[in-house]
Amino acid sequence: IDTVGCHHLLGGTEFASDTSIEVVLEKKPSVLYLMDEIGHILMHLKSKPSACTEKIVPVLMRIWSSAKNSFIGKSYADEDKNRRIIQPCLCIYGTSTPDRFIEGMSDAELNDGWLSRCMVFATDNKPFKNRKYIEPIPPVEICNFVNAWAFREIEPAESDTVYAWQHHAGDEVEKAPPSQIILPATSEAEQIFENFDLLSRSIGEESPIVECLWDKSEENARKFALILATSVNYDNPIIDGACADYGCKLASYLLRDFGSSMVGQISSTPYEEKKNKIWNIIKRKGQLGCGKKSLANASGWSSKRERDDLLDDLREAGRIITKFIENEETHWATEYYPS
């Protein structure tokens, strides 16, 4: 950020309330929130919502849907507090451990469209430490390119007329909406997007549990393609077949990966949450397996009877395999069971 010089685009590190989001967007309609440990934030919103925080996710969803026109904020008796934000652009780049992220999710976020508006890049890689310190300096050409886009001014087509800069609504005159670059897409690209939408619909029909995730898959693919196109050509970006193919493949990979590895862990009840905790304890043991004593020590929050019930449910669902090793009951996550 320091090298590129885009501090004016940054928001805070947390959301204090839904109103705070509106205030920030009113001052800068394009804003990026960089959030470390976003799983903790989501878990807090899920488990301990307050009057200030319970409306954060709904507001973010409305902003997402208002990006091409206007976002109307809360209505106040004091007219000066009422906000209308033209073409808001709010992006969140959050990092989290997989377990904490899943704990912050529930069936509600899966079914109401919140998760379909997010693209989750999941990884279980554990890179080795870099023993030799190297200052992370981004390439100059990338910094210059990002800086050029951040400070790019797009003038309206008829910039020599007053109507290009002002918008008349009745007797009131306000600043005209910002001009946008409309990226054209080739016929080949449009056909690729159409085929991907048909594929997404069929996947949703076959697997209702992930249908909501795939509802906006084409839109996400178009955004990936747009990012690629503007990165390839600064002056005259166009979404061609290669950009469309890349966007669809990336969106498909991320959705399939999230659907297969994480959706089943999203809990809607305290019982399901405990069951997932037991499963995660066992999974962390990998191919070594988790012995009965080890599991009891790691799950002190549960009683023996409750733990046995949770294990029975996990076995019945095929998520764990249990065998006796040297007279001790040992459990494996199914994918780690040594064949």
In percent, the amount of the chain with pLDDT more than 90 equals 30
Write out the E strands in 67-189. 70-72, 84-86, 89-95, 166-169, 172-175
Alpha carbon distance 141, 134 (integer Å):
19
Q: What is the pLDDT of residues 81-98, one digit of tens each?
A: 888 888 899 999 999 988
More confident residue, 270 or 188: 188
Confirm if 83 and 69 have CB atoms less than 8 A apart: no
User: Residue 3: what residue type?
Assistant: T
Alpha carbon distance 282, 301 (integer Å):
15
The reported pLDDT for the residue numbered 55 is 86
pLDDT band, very low/low/confident/very high, at 196 (cuts 50, 70, 90): very high
Contacts of 32 (CB under 8 A, 6+ apart): 9, 10, 11, 91, 92, 93
Q: What is the pLDDT of residues 20-76, one digit of tens each?
A: 999 999 888 889 999 998 888 887 777 767 777 788 888 988 998 888 888 888 888
Asked if pLDDT for residue 332 goes beyond 90, the answer is yes
Q: Which domains does the chain have, with CATH numbers?
A: 1-104 (no CATH), 270-336 (1.10.10.10)
Confirm if 30 and 7 have CB atoms less than 8 A apart: no
Alpha carbon distance 289, 9 (integer Å):
47
Mean pLDDT lowest among 143-147, 212-216, 245-249, 319-323: 212-216
> What is the sign, positive or negative, of the torsion defined by CA atoms of 102, 107, 108, 110?
positive
Burial (Cβ within 10 Å: 0-12, 13-18, ≥19) of residue 205: exposed
What's the rounded mean pLDDT across residues 104-121? 79
